[in-house]
């Protein structure tokens, strides 16, 4: 059974440490004599009194401690209900489970970008590039791009391990894409292609965290990869609270306060995580805000870990995505001034290619000896998957005006982005119409994070079931409507407040039904528990 509430991690650590200490010690000479007959030894030396080598009380306690609610308990329940509907369609008051728990667009019907898939298919099976029939099935520029990419791969071997940072030619393309985006140069040697952005985050945590005395500043609410990764690597999460009242604003004064508090407790704060656009909160930082953050990191000697995977998901005209790289360079800060790691992924944006596991980190402002170590860690896994590498390069250099595929590409892209913007607004309004619910606008990313003012009676009902109140609400929502969302405690929230995260990803035609079901459920829930 998985638990959500981050605050319970401490009791978890305690419990797991107690388990570790009470584990039966293995006596050095207590092995059985080698014999061909089953051991008929005295009880003290038979293995049945020894715990098996891998059991819950003997595994790495950091594994026990870490949590990841996005695919946690509520999802397990949803899958169970889904199975039940399959065999007995009338088992529940809904026909289907609607997974609004995870940023997985293509699982909910979003189509991939055709041009990207054409190129990937050709790179997977280059033999057909020589065939005339291929011209009839693929666009000319996808064929051209496939040739260009294959020429950058030694021997055109897409099945070979590449350079551990990723294929050089693809990194050149990505660096050029970064430069085109920011107006400041990027070095292909700063780029590490990874199986999604998540492994890159893990790599940085591994480098930064030496012990529980090392702290990483993380936003609350945050995408729980960060809390989980910090726990796995044995570090300390130092929370900084985003301000719900000001659209999830990030105040440097809050950063300073948390930094000082943790330092006074003997924690060495190593890095600051900023997710922009935010997950689950959806805010897009204003450039001035970003400058203050850069200044803060520079002054305090912190590595800035900039999670920018939603850089293409901005839905409001008054905001624009600015990379932290661009912001810091525009302030005149270079390699000597700021240590910055920027993460990008193929999973989000308008391409939504989650299943491909493609992404990269751009690492700037570190000494050569540190970079060598980053390379070394990357090399143990040899390389990231080649198809994902190719896709990352396509995402950073899509068709341009004048290319044969440009019009269809931009139509697909704009269609997806405008639909996402509409769905974000529709769901935001729907949540704000619910009694006791307020929902900040999703300026970007793929989520809404409404806050529910749960009545006292509901909180008590939750406690009676040994559940966090928001988890209780989410479970009731699931069993009544089939809608799967993630309780706010999985992301962190100001104690005593309750939220849940809902994606904006179900297909547009399903949204009205979702709104109706949600609204009806909420009304009856409030009827049941209103004080």
Angle at CA 169, nearest 5°, toward 276 and 393? 35
- Asked whether position 399 contacts another protein by CB under 8 A, the answer is no
CB of 107 to another protein, least distance (A): 4
Q: Restricting to residues 148-187, which ones interact with another protein according to CB under 8 A?
A: 154-155, 157-162, 164
Contact 314, 321 (CB under 8 A): yes
Smaller CB separation from another protein, 130 or 318: 130
Contact 165, 193 (CB under 8 A): yes
Question: Token pair of 113, please?
Answer: 């970008």
CB of 476 to another protein, least distance (A): 23
Name the percent of the chain in helix, strand, coil, to the closest 5: 50, 10, 40
Size of the site for another protein (CB under 8 A): 113
Q: Restricting to residues 339-358, which ones interact with another protein according to CB under 8 A?
A: 339, 347, 352-357
CB of 343 to another protein, least distance (A): 14
Smaller CB separation from another protein, 136 or 317: 136
Q: Nearest CA to 394 among 104, 114, 135, 191?
A: 114
Q: What is the DSSP letter of 444?
A: B
Site string for another protein, 263-282 (x = CB under 8 A): -------xx-----------
For 248, how many CA atoms within 13 A lie in the half-sphere containing its CB?
28
Q: Is 476 left (phi over 0), alpha (psi -120 to 50) or beta?
A: alpha
Q: Nearest CA to 225 among 272, 267, 279?
A: 279
Among 21, 44, 86, 380, binds another protein (CB under 8 A): 380
Among 81, 293, 302, 483, binds another protein (CB under 8 A): 302
Among 238, 242, 386, 477, binds another protein (CB under 8 A): 386
Candidates 108-116, 277-285, 319-327, 495-503 — which segment interacts with another protein by CB under 8 A?
108-116
Smaller CB separation from another protein, 154 or 185: 154
Q: Restricting to residues 8-37, which ones interact with another protein according to CB under 8 A?
A: 20, 26, 28-29, 31-34
Site string for another protein, 448-487 (x = CB under 8 A): ----------------------------------------
Alpha helices (H) along 384-405: 386-396
Contact 306, 323 (CB under 8 A): yes
- Asked whether position 137 contacts another protein by CB under 8 A, the answer is yes
Among 18, 60, 189, 497, binds another protein (CB under 8 A): 60
> What gap in Å lies between CA 399 and CA 283, rounded to an integer?
28
Smaller CB separation from another protein, 41 or 254: 41
Smaller CB separation from another protein, 337 or 435: 337
Smaller CB separation from another protein, 352 or 450: 352
Smaller CB separation from another protein, 104 or 426: 104
Q: Nearest CA to 396 among 189, 167, 86, 177?
A: 177
- Asked whether position 121 contacts another protein by CB under 8 A, the answer is yes
CB 112: neighbour CB atoms within 10 A? 17
CB of 280 to another protein, least distance (A): 16
Contact 262, 212 (CB under 8 A): no
Contact 379, 161 (CB under 8 A): no
Q: Restricting to residues 198-237, which ones interact with another protein according to CB under 8 A?
A: 198-199, 206-210, 224-225, 228-229, 232
CB of 53 to another protein, least distance (A): 4
Phi, psi of 214 (to 5 degrees): -90, 130
- Asked whether position 67 contacts another protein by CB under 8 A, the answer is yes
Q: Nearest CA to 470 among 449, 486, 494, 447?
A: 486
């Amino acid at each position: 059974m998985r638990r959500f509430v981050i605050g319970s991690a401490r009791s978890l650590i305690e419990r797991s440490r107690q388990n570790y200490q009470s584990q039966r010690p293995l006596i050095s000479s207590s092995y059985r004599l080698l014999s061909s007959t089953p051991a008929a030894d005295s009880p003290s030396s038979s293995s049945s009194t020894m715990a098996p080598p891998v059991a819950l009380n003997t595994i790495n306690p950091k594994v026990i401690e870490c949590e990841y609610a996005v695919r946690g308990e509520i999802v397990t329940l949803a899958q169970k209900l889904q199975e039940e509907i399959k065999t007995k369609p009338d088992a529940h008051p809904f026909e289907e489970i609607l997974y609004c728990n995870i940023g997985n667009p293509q699982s909910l019907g979003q189509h991939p970008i055709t041009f990207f898939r054409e190129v990937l298919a050709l790179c997977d099976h280059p033999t057909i590039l020589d065939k005339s029939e291929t011209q009839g099935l693929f666009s000319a520029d996808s064929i051209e791009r496939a040739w260009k990419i294959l020429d950058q791969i030694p021997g055109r071997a897409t099945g070979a391990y590449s350079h551990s940072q990723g294929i050089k030619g693809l990194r050149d393309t990505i660096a050029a894409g970064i430069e085109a985006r920011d107006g400041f140069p990027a070095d292909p040697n700063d780029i590490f292609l990874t199986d999604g952005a998540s492994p890159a985050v893990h790599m940085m945590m591994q480098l930064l965290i030496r012990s529980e005395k090392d702290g990483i500043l993380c936003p609350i609410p945050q995408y729980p990869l960060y809390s989980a990764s910090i726990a796995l690597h044995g570090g300390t999460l130092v929370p900084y609270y985003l301000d719900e009242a000001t659209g999830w604003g990030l105040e440097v004064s809050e950063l300073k306060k948390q930094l000082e508090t943790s330092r006074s407790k003997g924690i060495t704060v190593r890095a600051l995580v900023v997710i922009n656009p935010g997950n689950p909160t959806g805010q897009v930082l204003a450039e001035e805000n970003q400058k203050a953050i850069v200044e803060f990191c520079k002054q305090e000697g912190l590595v800035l870990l900039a999670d920018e995977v939603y850089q293409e998901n901005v839905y409001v005209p008054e905001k624009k995505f600015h990379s932290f790289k661009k912001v810091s360079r525009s302030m005149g800060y270079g390699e000597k001034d700021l240590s910055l790691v920027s993460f990008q992924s193929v999973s989000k944006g308008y391409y939504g290619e989650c299943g491909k596991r493609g992404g990269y980190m751009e690492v700037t402002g570190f000494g050569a000896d540190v970079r060598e170590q980053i390379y070394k860690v990357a090399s143990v896994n040899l390389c990231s998957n080649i198809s994902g590498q190719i896709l990352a390069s396509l995402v950073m250099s899509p068709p341009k005006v004048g290319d044969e595929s440009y019009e269809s590409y931009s139509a697909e892209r704009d269609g997806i982005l405008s639909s996402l913007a509409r769905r974000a607004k529709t769901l935001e309004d729907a949540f704000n119409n619910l009694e006791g619910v307020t929902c900040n606008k999703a300026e970007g990313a793929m989520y809404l994070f409404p806050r529910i003012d749960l009545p006292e009676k509901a909180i008590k009902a939750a406690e009676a079931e040994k559940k966090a109140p928001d988890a209780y609400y989410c479970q009731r929502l699931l069993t009544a409507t089939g809608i799967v969302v993630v309780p706010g405690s999985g992301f962190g929230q100001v104690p005593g407040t309750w939220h849940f995260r809902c994606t904006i990803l179900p297909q547009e035609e399903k949204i009205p039904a979702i709104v109706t079901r949600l609204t009806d459920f909420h009304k009856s829930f409030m009827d049941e528990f209103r004080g």
